[in-house]
Amino acid sequence: MQKTAPTIDRKMVVQKLLSQLGGGSYLEIGVELGQSLLPIQARQKHGVDPNPIVPMRHRIRMFMQNMFSRNKVHLHQMTSDDFFACRSSILGDSKIDVALVDGLHTFEQAYRDVLNCLEVLSPSGVIIMHDCNPPSARIAFRAHSHSEALKEFPADGDFRWCGDVWKAIVLLRSLQTDLQTFVLDADFGLGIVSRGTPTSKLSYSREEIEAMSYEDLAARRLKLLDLRPATSFNEFLASR
């Protein structure tokens, strides 16, 4: 029987990058239940969320880890903007090796989170963005919270939601000349952002990007996102 390739998701991408970079420091924006933050192995982990709903058993696990392990995990109950505003008092001089941006699913916030992450990123660090390739207009519905989006969805049990984070990729590829940015076709689109000369660029203005609709994405998905197959992550990893 032919073996199928393992599914690539954000946790796998984050962990492989951390291992490649020496397992140092990890920042996660948008913790929710802790389903990504808790399994990741790193010497220092910082999770940022204004309203984390991490179950008590996992909070106890984090407490015990901080007491008895060299690997530490810190949960910051605040917005990402507040976290970065006081980053010096939280991080000191330490840098982040891998950051996951998975907070508020609006392109403005995702874009701002990436730019702020760059301020604390190590020279060879990488930023991962979740929800960059929504498969339908419904999942790409623009809202300022998951609950707001669900109010507009049919009551059919489909809770998937990416918002318009994809526009942040188009912004980065259009306005930032010192970043390599592309999207892996996996886990609703994993944006990969690192320092370096872009392999390809876009030339849209911010106003043009703000006016784009999901139909624009559907018509030019490969070009707008520099969408690459999930297997290309291994090539990127080998280049780090």
Residue 200 belongs to a domain with what CATH number? 3.40.50.150
Is 1 among the domain residues?
no
SS3 state of residue 74 = strand
The boundaries of the domain holding residue 119 are 10-239
| Cβ atoms of 28 and 100 closer than 8 Å | yes
Counting the structural domains of the chain, the total is 1
pTM: 0.93
Residue 152 lies in a domain: yes
Say which range, 11-20, 131-140, 156-165, 188-197, has the weakest mean pLDDT.
Answer: 156-165
User: Contact 143/202 with Cβ under 8 angstroms?
Assistant: no
Residue 48: CA count within 13 A, CB half-sphere? 24
Structure tokens given for 19: 């291992």
- Residue 21: inside a domain, yes or no? yes
Question: Is 3 domain-assigned?
Answer: no
Instruction: Identify whether the C-beta of residue 14 lies closer than 8 Å to the C-beta of residue 36.
Output: yes
Domain assignment of residue 5, yes or no: no
pLDDT for 124-142, tens place per residue?
Answer: 999 999 999 999 999 999 9
pLDDT value, residue 61: 82
DSSP tag of 195: E
Residue 199 falls within a domain, yes or no? yes
Q: pLDDT tens digit string along 97-134?
A: 999 999 999 999 999 999 999 999 999 999 999 999 99
For residue 113, being part of any structural domain is answered with: yes
- Domain-embedded: residue 80: yes
Length of the chain measured in residues: 240
